Amino acid sequence: MSKRLAEVARKVGVSEATVSRVLNGKPGVSDATREAVLTALDVLGYERPTKLRGERARLVGLVLPELQNPIFPALAEIVGGALTQNGYTPLLCTQNAGGISESDYVDLLLAQQVSGVIFLGGNYTEATAPHDHYERLRRVKMPTVVVSAPVPGTGFAAVSTDDTAAAEQAVMHLRQLGHERIGFLLGPTAHQPSMRKLEGARAVLERHGASLDAELVHHGLYSIESGQAGASRLIAAGATGIVCASDPLALGAIRAARRAGLSVPADVSIVGYDDSALMSFTEPPLTTVRQPIDAMGRAVIDVLMGQIAGTMEPGDELLFEPELVLRGSTGPAAK
C-alpha cells in the first residue's frame, strides 16, 4: 500500500496523505486533485477502490502500428464500424516513427477511462519489443483483444490468421508450378507471425523431401523498400519463386525483379500476403494469401463485448483460415 501511495503521490505531485484521503473517500481534497489521483491510479496500473471506480466511458481504444500497409486501415474500418453499431466510439491511436509510442497510448487510454482496447498489431507480436505497458492493462482487468499472432504468454485474447497455413499454401502453390528455389521475404526475426510463416514453410518443404535454405530467407521491415532490397538478394541467390509476408513486400519484390531485367511471372513468381486493397489492379495482378478480415473483425468485437459483459475470459487465440488468391504474379518455373 505504501509503495502505491508513494508512486501515485510522485506522479501527481501531491503528498501521500492527500492520496490516502482520495482513496478512502475523505473530504478536504479539490475535485481537480481527486481526478488527477484517480487518473494516476489508472495510468500506473493500480485498480481503483471499488467505491471509486465509477462507470467506464463508452470508448474503445483502437491502436494501429502504422497506416502505410493498407491492411491496417481496412481492419480499422471494419472494427471501428462494428464498435459504433454496438454503441461504442473508437479512439483511433496510430503510431509513426518518432511519434507517440504504444506505451504512451496505453497511458492516454487509461486516463480516458475507456471500456476496452483493441490492438491491430504492435509490440505484442515481437519478443524483443517493450511489453511493460501491457501489465498496466492486465492490472486493471481492462478488456483487451489483439489481432495477429502474439508472443507466448502475453495473456490477451487474440484473433489471428493461421500464418503457418498461409505459408504452406503459398509454398505448395509455387512447388506445383515447378519452383524449387523458393525465397522468403519476412518481417523481423523476433516477429511472431513471421516466425510462424517460417515454421510452416519449413514443415511443408520437409514433408516433400526438401529443406529450407537459409540463403533464401530474408528478414526486414514491412515496406516496399525493404521488399525490394531483400528480393534483390533472393534473386541473386537463385530464387525463382518468392513468398512474401505482406503485399507491400511483394510489390517491392516485383520492383526488384524488373530492376534486374526479369519478368514477373516468366522469370520470377511472387506471392503476397493480406490481399489488401488494389492488389488485383497491380501489374501484374498479385497472387496473394487473403486474410479473412471481415470475419476476423466480427470476432474481435464478439470477444471484446464478451469481456466487457464479464461473460468471457481473456487468453485464448482464435485462428482463421487464409485463402490463396491466384492472379497473374505466379506462373510455371522457367525450363
Same domain, residue pair 260 and 205: yes
What CATH number corresponds to the domain at position 220?
Answer: 3.40.50.2300
Provide the Cα torsion 136, 141, 142, 146; round to 10°.
80
pLDDT of residue 4: 73
- Of residues 241, 243, 288, 249, the one with CA closest to residue 267: 241
pLDDT at 50: 53
Do 155 and 249 fall within a single domain?
no
Within-domain flag for 330: no
Do 202 and 233 contact (CB within 8 A), yes or no?
no
Q: Are residues 197 and 248 in the same domain?
A: yes
Q: pLDDT value at position 6? A: 82
Cα–Cα nearest to 151, from 120, 104, 193, 116: 193
User: Which pTM value belongs to this model?
Assistant: 0.82
Q: What is the rounded distance in angstroms from the CA atom of residue 54 to the CA atom of residue 32?
A: 16
Q: What range defines the domain where residue 111 resides?
A: 59-161+293-322
Q: Decide if 334 is inside a domain.
A: no
Looking at residue 95, its pLDDT comes to: 81
The count of structural domains within the chain is 3
Determine, yes or no, domain membership for 327.
Answer: no
What is the pLDDT at residue 49? 65
Same domain, yes or no, for 277 and 186? yes
**Three cell numbers at 123?**
509490440
Q: What is the CATH number of the domain that holds 22?
A: 1.10.260.40
pLDDT score at 72: 92
User: What pLDDT is recorded for position 33?
Assistant: 83
The tens-digit pLDDT sequence of the chain (335 residues) is: 567 778 888 888 888 888 878 877 777 778 778 778 877 877 776 766 655 555 577 899 999 988 888 999 999 999 999 999 999 999 999 987 677 889 999 999 998 889 999 999 999 999 999 999 999 999 889 999 999 999 998 899 999 999 999 999 999 999 999 999 999 999 999 999 999 999 999 999 999 999 999 999 999 999 999 999 999 999 999 999 999 999 999 999 999 999 999 999 999 999 999 999 999 999 999 999 999 999 999 999 999 999 998 888 877 899 999 999 999 999 999 87
**CA dist list (Å): 279 to 113, 172, 191, 282, 287:** 39, 21, 24, 5, 8
Close Cβ partners of 196 (under 8 Å, ≥ 6 residues apart): 149, 163, 164, 167
**Same domain (yes/no): 152, 83:** yes
Residue 299's closest CA among 318, 271, 323, 275?
318
Task: Establish if 92 belongs to a structural domain.
Answer: yes
Which of these, 207, 127, 225, lies nearest to 167 by C-alpha position? Answer: 207
Tell me the C-alpha distance between 262 and 43, whole Å: 54
- Asked, for residue 268, whether it belongs to a domain, the answer is yes
Which pLDDT score, from 0 to 100, does residue 2 have? 64
CA torsion angle 193 196 202 207 (round to 10): -130
Could you tell me if residue 111 is inside a domain?
yes
Q: Is the same domain home to 195 and 151? A: no
248 domain residue, yes or no: yes
Indicate whether 281 and 218 sit together in one domain.
Answer: yes
